[in-house]
């Protein structure tokens, strides 16, 4: 069953389209990440779901209730949707307990019990209840903002770049903690981010936006392995894109003959391989099933490194191919190697020359 349904949602500002005819289903209890470059319409779409903006046309429904269509709209405060913005947006004049309890009704004892429950839920010590927002770390502020959003027992949680202001280590741990918390609470969640690694690790469903349009949606692994076009392939991670000639289940390219899944495809095309599908071998003279190359650069990152390997391309021009390798055995520039491909290449849609 789907909790959230978007149907042909469109929004323009000053005549310029920000979101164009987007349709998307979000399953109940799932985590969906909406990704795309700046200006792709991600936050505008999130704000329309929340009720802070209204579409020019289209329909949005939640758990079978129409939130907005051509007939009217449910106000934001009546939608029971939690919203955590990028900066947390805590009230500076309220302490942690008052921030979390803002909007809670009921007797004082019931509110205190609910606040204590929420502090525990987001793994914050009860001693922090009396502190002010400026006395908290960035991670603690985001946990308070999340607790405040959860206080109303929302039907849907919207996270707008909630980890972007945190340092790398804290960002990863906060992402895992929030994903676990929301899964345990059974809250349907939408995360908006421009960080593809964050989206891939957080979500059950990935939706890629570009220039206001929904380009592709599906399981993260499916989109990573089978992107619709070259731009999506590169946005979701490093990719090796090569022109190829397809015939009988093989793609003939600068790396030799690489298998593809669809044997019916023939003619010119563009194929994609991820760097982890390429294996670096010592150039021992045995060229069976591999392609010769020369290491041009090594991007060392500790336990891993990315080698830029030059191979002979079409017309005699050198093609630089990124290959991931162990950082413990990083090869110096100038090393002669051979590259072997693993698995199947993915055939990209669109113009082969793109």
Q: Same domain for 264 and 130?
A: no
Assigned domain for 91 exists: yes
The pLDDT value given to residue 350: 56
Residue 84 scores a pLDDT above 70: yes
Tokens of 247: 């015939």
Tokens of 313: 């391309």
Assigned domain for 352 exists: no
Q: Same domain for 198 and 259?
A: no
The pLDDT value given to residue 46: 94
Q: How many other C-beta atoms are found inside a 10 Å radius of the C-beta of residue 125? A: 9
Q: Same domain for 278 and 158?
A: no
Q: Same domain for 66 and 182?
A: yes
Assigned domain for 36 exists: yes
Q: Same domain for 80 and 175?
A: yes
Residue 143 scores a pLDDT above 80: yes
Percentage of the chain with pLDDT > 70? Answer: 95
Which tens digits make up the pLDDT trace of 288-330?
Answer: 668 899 999 988 888 888 889 999 877 678 888 988 888 777 7
Q: Same domain for 227 and 281?
A: no
Residue 59 scores a pLDDT above 90: yes
Task: Domain of residue 75: give its range.
Answer: 2-233
CATH number at residue 171: 3.40.50.300
Residue 354 scores a pLDDT above 60: no
The pLDDT value given to residue 352: 41
Three-state secondary structure of the chain: CEEEEEEEEEEEECCEEEEEEEEEEEECCCEEEEECCCCCCHHHHHHHHHCCCCCCEEEEEECCEEEEECCEECCHHHCCEEEECCCCCCCCCCCHHHHHHCCCCCCHHHHHHHHHHHHHHCCCCHHHHHCCHHHCCHHHHHHHHHHHHHCCCCCEEEEECCCCCCCHHHHHHHHHHHHHHHHHHCCEEEEEECCHHHHHHHCCEEEEEECCEEEEEECHHHHHHCCCCHHHHHHCCCCEEEEEEEECCEEEECCEEEEECCCCCCEEEEEEECHHHEEEEECCCCCCCCEEEEEEEEEECCCEEEEEEEEECHHHCEEEEEEEEEHHHCCCCCCEEEEEECCCEEECCCCCCC
Which tens digits make up the pLDDT trace of 201-248?
Answer: 889 999 999 999 999 999 999 999 999 999 999 999 989 999 999 999
The pLDDT value given to residue 207: 96
Task: Please provide the distance, in angstroms rounded to a whole number, between the alpha carbons at the two ends of the chain.
Answer: 38
> 285 exposed, middle or buried (CB, 10 Å; 0-12, 13-18, 19+)?
exposed
Q: How far apart are CA 255 and CA 319, in angstroms?
A: 10
Q: Same domain for 147 and 261?
A: no
Q: How confident is the model at residue 285 (pLDDT cuts 50, 70, 90)?
A: low
Which tens digits make up the pLDDT trace of 165-208?
Answer: 777 777 787 788 888 888 888 889 999 988 888 899 889 999 99
Assigned domain for 202 exists: yes
Average pLDDT over residues 119-133: 86
Q: How many structural domains does the chain have?
A: 2
Mean pLDDT of the chain: 88
Average pLDDT over residues 2-9: 93
Q: Same domain for 211 and 261?
A: no
Tokens of 175: 């992402």
Triad 107, 112, 115: Cα angle to 5°: 125
Assigned domain for 38 exists: yes
Give the gyration radius of the chain's Cα atoms: 25
The pLDDT value given to residue 257: 92
Assigned domain for 353 exists: no
Q: Which residue has the tokens 């805590």?
A: 90
Q: Same domain for 225 and 250?
A: no
Who's near 122: CB < 8 A, 6+ residues apart? 143, 144, 146, 147, 150, 181
Assigned domain for 325 exists: yes
Domain boundary among 233, 253, 281: 233
Q: How far apart are CA 262 and CA 347, in angstroms?
A: 9
Domain boundary among 182, 200, 233: 233
Q: How confident is the model at residue 343 (pLDDT cuts 50, 70, 90)?
A: very high
Q: Same domain for 179 and 278?
A: no
The pLDDT value given to residue 40: 92
CA distances from 197 to 218, 236, 333, 338 (A): 16, 8, 28, 29
Domain boundary among 233, 259, 276: 233
Largest CA distance in the chain: 80
CATH number at residue 335: 2.40.50.140
Assigned domain for 83 exists: yes
Q: Same domain for 208 and 103?
A: yes
> 205 exposed, middle or buried (CB, 10 Å; 0-12, 13-18, 19+)?
buried
Q: Same domain for 61 and 81?
A: yes
């Amino acid at each position: 069953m789907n909790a959230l349904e978007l149907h042909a949602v469109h929004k323009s500002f000053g005549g310029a389209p920000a979101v164009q005819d987007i349709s998307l289903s979000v399953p109940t209890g799932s985590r969906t990440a909406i990704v795309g470059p700046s200006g792709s319409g991600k936050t505008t779409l999130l704000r329309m779901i929340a009720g802070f903006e209204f579409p020019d046309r289209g329909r949005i429904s939640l758990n079978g209730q129409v939130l907005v269509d051509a007939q009217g709209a449910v106000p934001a405060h009546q939608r029971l949707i939690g919203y955590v913005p990028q900066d947390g947006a805590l009230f500076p004049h309220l302490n942690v307990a008052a921030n979390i309890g803002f909007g809670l009704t009921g007797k004082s004892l019931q509110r205190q019990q609910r606040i204590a429950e929420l502090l525990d839920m987001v793994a914050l010590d009860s001693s922090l209840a009396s502190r002010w927002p400026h006395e908290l770390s960035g991670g603690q502020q985001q946990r308070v903002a999340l607790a405040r959003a959860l206080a109303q027992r929302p039907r849907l949680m919207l996270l707008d770049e909630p980890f972007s202001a945190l340092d790398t280590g804290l960002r990863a741990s906060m992402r895992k903690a929030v994903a676990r918390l929301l899964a345990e609470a059974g809250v349907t969640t939408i995360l908006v981010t421009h960080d593809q690694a964050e989206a891939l690790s957080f979500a059950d469903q990935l939706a890629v936006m570009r220039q206001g349009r929904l380009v592709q949606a599906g399981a993260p692994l499916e989109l990573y392995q089978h992107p619709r076009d070259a731009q999506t392939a590169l946005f979701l991670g490093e990719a090796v894109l090569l022109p190829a000639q397809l015939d009988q289940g093989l793609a003939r390219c600068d790396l030799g003959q690489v298998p593809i899944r669809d044997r019916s495809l023939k003619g010119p095309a563009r194929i994609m391989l991820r760097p982890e599908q390429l294996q670096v071998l010592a150039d021992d003279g045995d060229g069976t099933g591999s392609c010769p190359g020369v290491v041009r650069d090594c991007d060392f990152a500790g336990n891993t490194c990315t080698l830029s390997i030059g191979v002979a391309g079409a017309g005699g021009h050198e093609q630089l191919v990124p290959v991931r390798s162990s950082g413990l055995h990083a090869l110096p520039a100038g090393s002669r190697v051979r590259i072997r491909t693993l698995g199947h290449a993915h055939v990209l849609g669109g113009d082969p020359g793109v």
